[in-house]
């Protein structure tokens, strides 16, 4: 019973404590997706990742082309080969196919690692830009707002500092 009374008192007083405390705070929000898609660093990261993906896709495409050529050659030669030679060719093709699958998995992992590495680097820069801007303009809290909502479900557009953060990030990366 005592816990219920304490809980009720705390719940009644919480709105009053929170509002007086919050009046002195300066809160802004940033659309990190917009920063990523429009800032100089974000655009450079996207370009680098796309080039990396293309280079890895080229490697996989070449391996696939080699595998298809081997398969086409086998289809042409199969009727001319002895049963033992056919079996050897099939085993060779299976080995090549396994190598191709392994190469594709490796390339996919490299792409995922590169995306993670570059996004981590970008978000460190973003965090630094937000901290610099927050100190300069006196923000106590900066929340993330994305199309899906992020940490902000509603905000006044006057509290949107996304463009300021983009300018700060662009200034830092020059």
140-163 tens-digit pLDDT:
989 988 777 666 767 777 888 989
Entry pTM: 0.72
Summarize pLDDT for 70-124 with one digit per residue, the tens: 899 888 888 888 889 889 989 999 999 999 999 999 999 999 999 999 999 999 9
Which DSSP letter does residue 159 get?
A: G
Give the per-residue pLDDT at 4: 41
Q: How many CB atoms lie within 10 A of CB 3?
A: 7
Q: Give all strands (DSSP E) within the chain, no chain letters.
A: 27-30, 141-144
CA distance 18 to 28: 18
């Amino acid at each position: 019973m005592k816990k219920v009374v304490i809980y009720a008192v705390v719940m009644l007083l919480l709105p009053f404590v929170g509002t007086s405390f919050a009046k002195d705070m300066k809160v802004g929000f940033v659309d990190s997706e917009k920063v990523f898609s429009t800032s100089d660093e974000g655009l450079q990261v996207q370009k680098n990742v796309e080039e990396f993906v293309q280079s890895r896709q080229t490697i996989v495409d070449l391996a696939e082309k080699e595998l298809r050529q081997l398969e086409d050659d086998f289809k042409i030669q199969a009727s001319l080969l002895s049963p033992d030679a056919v079996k050897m060719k099939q085993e060779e093709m299976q080995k090549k196919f396994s190598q191709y699958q392994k190469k594709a998995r490796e390339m996919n992992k490299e792409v995922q690692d590169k995306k993670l590495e570059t996004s981590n680097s970008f978000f460190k820069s973003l965090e630094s830009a937000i901290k610099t801007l927050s100190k300069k303009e006196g923000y106590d809290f900066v929340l993330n707002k994305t199309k899906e909502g992020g940490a902000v479900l509603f905000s006044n557009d006057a509290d949107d500092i996304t463009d300021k953060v983009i300018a700060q990030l662009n200034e830092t990366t020059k």
